[in-house]
Amino acid sequence: MVTPQLNQEEMISGSRLEHVLRAGRFAVTAELNPPDSSDPQKVYDAALVLSQVCDGINATDASGANCHMSSVAICALLTRAGYEPVMQVSCRDRNRIAIQGDVLGGAAMGVHNVLCLTGDDTSAGDQPQAKRVFDMDSIHLLYTIKTMRDEGRFLSGREISEPPRLFLGAASNPFVPPYDWRPKRLAKKVQAGANFIQTQYCFDVARFKKFMKDVRDLGLDEKVFILVGVGPLRSERAAEFMRTKVPGVVIPDEVVERLRKTPKSGKKAEGKRICVEIIQQVKEISGVSGVHVMAYRQEELVADIIEEAGLLPRPRQPDAGESDPLKRKRKWERDKNQ
């Protein structure tokens, strides 16, 4: 596995996820499914399950264009408890003024990882009458936050007195056509500022291998960390729902058929087994730096999946003091001056 080399400022973000990746360790991130509730305990309960086996916890931003607890609020709760969040930011619901403000607010709370997304159209969600914003797309969003971080200014040109130190991520979907366009789209995101990539669910390993060959041919594996999206399937019915109702998800017939042939009592275990097998396969592909686990309403399976895939033990959790944003800032200043 090649360790992408970026400039020194980008290498020091205070992000545990970045440190794991730059150390050449195979990284694990996972999505925290946001509650339809104002109870913070639901976030803490889900995070507790994920934190011991993950290097970063994604706080989703109304994924699928469905309303849940906000990404910013979840990040506030996670940083308060000392966890490592990845704040997802979607361009669908807010304009550039609101987004830049959220980025600064997240950084002030101790967020050091941001995943930039264009976002699913509102027609995909349960409130299709909602107005779309799309003031920018994910590439423009990457450029915007990179400008805030590296140049210390807003898009307006106004100076930011304390720029946010962020590890920037983006999404990629190698599994939908036009296939030859996907690596080129990825290249544009890297050029705009992406430091890491989390892909859509991978159920077609053969297709992903072809994508990664194109990525390597473009030299992108040496410029960005790629984490492959994986996740367990409860049953063939869940698989059918995902591939017909969830935008961008592709599940081959053979995966659905394998679940269909499994006795009812063993379907959930078989779905987990498929996920473990995929992790083991993609881990051997040159240029892959980690996996991103998306276990919708199945967070309790994540630890078993990571263990059975042979990805334990994980790098140690930060000391309690490292979760404090002021102490992290002082540490960054000490490291910079050494």
Q: What is the pTM of this model?
A: 0.89
**Above 70 in pLDDT, residue 4?**
no
For residue range 277-328, list pLDDT tens digits in order.
999 999 999 999 999 999 988 888 999 999 999 999 887 654 433 444 445 4
**Torsion from C-alpha of 297, 250, 120, 80, nearest 10 degrees:** 40
Query: What is the predicted pLDDT for the residue at 12?
Result: 57
| Domains of the chain with bracketed CATH | 8-232+274-337 (3.20.20.220)
Q: Are 231 and 294 in contact (CB under 8 A)?
A: yes
Q: Are 226 and 287 in contact (CB under 8 A)?
A: yes
Q: What gap in Å lies between CA 43 and CA 29, rounded to an integer?
A: 16
Query: What is the predicted pLDDT for the residue at 331?
Result: 46
Strands 196-201 and 167-172: parallel
